Amino acid sequence: MPLVSTPLDSTFVARYQIGTSDSGAPITRQKTFGGVKATASSEDIYEIVVALFGLLQYPLLEVRRDDRFALTDE
């Protein structure tokens, strides 16, 4: 049986640095934003995240996109 993969939605995760520890190691946090349409392009998502974090005092370290799919037998 063929498998059908149907896009559901996406989330993006932004990892950023909030400071450094006493030993000089970076202290990082991450924020997950859900409800992103699966049809949104990765470029658009990246540009939005960069624009949002441009308003904050913390440097953006990484942007990750996580897509969800429904898998069903046809």
Name the percent of the chain lying above pLDDT 90: 89
* Cα separation values, 53 from 31, 39, 58, 60, Å: 11, 23, 7, 7
Q: How many angstroms separate the CA atoms of 7 and 35, rounded?
A: 13
pLDDT tens digits, one per residue of 25-51: 999 999 999 989 888 999 999 999 999
pTM of the model: 0.78
Rounded mean pLDDT of the chain?
A: 93
